């Protein structure tokens, strides 16, 4: 069991802050730049993040300690670049930061790609499940409309053109119903196959990474 847990989603949260200060006034005055550097590195942020902190602390007359920040950032970056974390980043579908040192880069990329395989497989399954749900909902509507159209045909006040239109609609719906009923078993079989493949992939990849 690894003793570190990173939260890649924070990368996106920080990236979306825009013009918001990257550190608070109290953090500027506290001056714990090594901890801040570690945090940024562990979240996959580039060390250029120090410039953002410098801008945030400027109004308070505080200048970041670059040496302390870089010492923390390099330690945090190595934590981020651990293969276990790389796998999680890929599995969650995030892009990865190009901050890994040379001795960790190849292992990071390999683990990231393995995690991304799971992400893509899950995404495809989710899309297939959505397709099945949509087709099943359409089938239920078609069935109900066939019943309604058949009932409407019993109305003695219908004109001949109206009756012809209802007959034509019923025929079209019956053909669509047959097509969907033929399609659904194939979709479910595809879903079962993909799900089994995902389970097998997950077991093999997780055993390799962890």
Q: What is the pLDDT of residue 1?
A: 35
Q: What is the pLDDT of residue 206?
A: 63
- Nearby residues of 9 by Cβ (< 8 Å), 6 or more positions away: 92, 94
What does the DSSP assignment read for 73-120? HHHHHHHHTSHHHHHHHHHTT----S---HHHHHHHHHHHHHHHHHHH
Same domain as 127, residue 69: no
Calculate what percentage of the chain has a pLDDT beyond 90.
Answer: 83
Same domain as 138, residue 190: yes
Same domain as 131, residue 66: no
pLDDT tops 60 at residue 10? no
Q: What is the mean pLDDT of residues 67-76?
A: 97
- Tally of domains within the chain: 2
Please identify which residue in the block is written with the tokens 């669509």. 176
Query: Residue 99 domain-assigned?
Result: no
pTM score of the predicted model: 0.74
Query: In which domain, by residue range, is 147 found?
Result: 118-209
Nearest CA-CA partner of 83 in 106, 100, 108, 115:
108
Q: What is the pLDDT of residue 204?
A: 83
| Alpha carbon distance 168, 152 (integer Å) | 13
Same domain as 205, residue 122: yes
Q: Could you tell me if 53 and 22 are in contact, meaning their C-beta atoms sit under 8 angstroms apart?
A: yes
pLDDT tops 60 at residue 144? yes
Question: Among 80, 107, 133, which residue terminates a domain?
Answer: 80
Q: What is the pLDDT of residues 178-201, one digit of tens each?
A: 999 999 999 999 999 999 999 999
Q: What is the pLDDT of residue 20?
A: 74
Q: pLDDT band at 19, cuts 50/70/90?
A: low
**Using the 8-state DSSP alphabet, how is residue 21 labeled?**
-
Q: What is the pLDDT of residue 97?
A: 84
Query: Residue 89 domain-assigned?
Result: no
pLDDT tops 50 at residue 4? no
């Amino acid at each position: 069991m690894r003793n570190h847990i990173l939260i890649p989603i924070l990368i996106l949260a920080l990236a979306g802050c825009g013009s918001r200060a990257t550190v608070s006034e109290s953090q500027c005055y506290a001056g714990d730049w090594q901890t801040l550097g570690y945090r940024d590195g562990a979240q996959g942020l580039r060390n250029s993040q120090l410039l953002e902190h410098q801008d945030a602390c400027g109004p308070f007359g505080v200048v970041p300690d670059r040496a302390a920040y870089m010492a923390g950032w390099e330690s945090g970056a190595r934590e981020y670049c651990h293969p276990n974390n790389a796998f999680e980043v890929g599995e969650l579908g995030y892009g990865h930061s190009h901050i890994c040192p040379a001795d960790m880069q190849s292992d990071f990329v390999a683990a990231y790609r393995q995690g991304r395989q799971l992400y893509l497989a899950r995404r495809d399954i989710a899309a297939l499940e959505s397709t099945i749900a949509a087709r099943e909902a359409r089938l239920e509507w078609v069935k109900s409309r066939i019943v309604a159209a058949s009932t409407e045909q019993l109305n003695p006040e219908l004109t001949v053109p109206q009756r012809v239109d209802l007959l034509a609609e019923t025929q079209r719906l019956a053909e669509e119903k047959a097509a969907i009923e033929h399609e659904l078993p194939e979709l479910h079989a595809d879903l079962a196959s993909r799900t089994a493949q995902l389970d097998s992939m997950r077991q093999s990849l997780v055993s390799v990474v962890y």
